[in-house]
Structure 1
């Protein structure tokens, strides 16, 4: 079905674009481990900066 969590939305957008976690991390200027943590919804309290980075990315895709 439709991606429900923020992490699922990030993964779906990245896969739709056909890029790897390291590629996305480099593009957004953040670490691959941050992408991994977000996609697996293991980040409980994201910083506003990270939320804005991902929000901008999701709006681009």
Structure 2
């Protein structure tokens, strides 16, 4: 899990809001988030199966 990248992006987005390069945000949102979601789902299924099973249920 690329935690340093995730938290680094969050810190930049929160603390330098007006200087954020929105083309980078768009690229992350349309490409990298899918991979991150898959990694998080795998982690949840392995470590917290009850929580992971609730994610598959309709809200």
- TM-score, structure 1 normalization: 0.31
Higher relative contact order (CA 8 A, sep 6+): 1
Q: Higher helix share goes to which structure? A: 2
Larger Rg: 2
- TM-score, structure 2 normalization: 0.32
